Amino acid sequence: MSSQAVQSTSQTSSKPPINLGQNTHLDPGAYARGTHAITLGDNVLVHPRAQLIALHGPVSIHDGCIICEKCIIGGPVPSTSGTDSNSRNTASESNPPTPLLNQNSEDDERDPVKTIIGSNVHMHASSQVHAGVTIRDSVLIESHVTIFANVTIGAHAKICAGVSVDRDVEEWSVIYGNGDVKRRRKRQTRNEDEGADPADLVETLRLKAMNKEREGTVALFRAARSATLAKKK
């Protein structure tokens, strides 16, 4: 095995420094790897089997986020040299390389790529956010979404299931179909006599429900963890 392959493997498996905010639950079944810092704000929930990758640069997840199982933030994950060539070909077809992302580990060390997840972002299962992405506050990302490098997702946007996003998304937009179909969740202009926009009320209720979901799920995870530890004694 070459020295470059050994270095790549060690970086992939190494554990980064992690800063946890108050009441944040990083499940023991979640994976954190890389050499750069990972920062989680207050009241963040990271489900089992989620992956936080700090190989290309630091990862910052702000307050109140939910990161569901099998999500990957900060990827893509480099393949190891021991992987079968057929497996690599299959993986490359299903997960194309991140555009505009330098894959050289030495360059990553000199010029790290920051991955930023804003407050109250809800990522559903099996979604991927590549390194260099910026997601603003209160974004909803449904399952099996891929957001490529250097993309910015505006606040309160919604990315529907299965969409691959390779360009910036405006705030309050809904992206669906092949990723090039969108509509707005909120009108850009509104007369004063029309009163409050219903979209604001719906969004407020959604965020309240999200907070309840996070609190309840954290309580269940911690209770299950305590029960498991009690059985081992």
Give 146's DSSP letter: E
Which sequence spans correspond to the domains of the chain?
Answer: 3-232
Q: Give yes or no for residue 126 having a pLDDT over 80.
A: yes
53 phi and psi angles, rounded to 5 deg: -110, 115
Residue among 118, 123, 72 nearest 98 (CA): 72
The pLDDT confidence band at residue 21, using thresholds 50, 70 and 90, is very high
Per-residue pLDDT tens digits for 76-107: 876 655 444 444 344 344 444 434 444 444 54
Task: Indicate the pTM of the whole model.
Answer: 0.79
Write the class of the CATH domain 3-232: mainly beta
Query: Three-state SS for 159?
Result: strand
31 phi and psi angles, rounded to 5 deg: -115, 135
Per-residue pLDDT tens digits for 2-18: 444 444 444 555 789 99
Cβ contact 18:88 at 8 Å: no
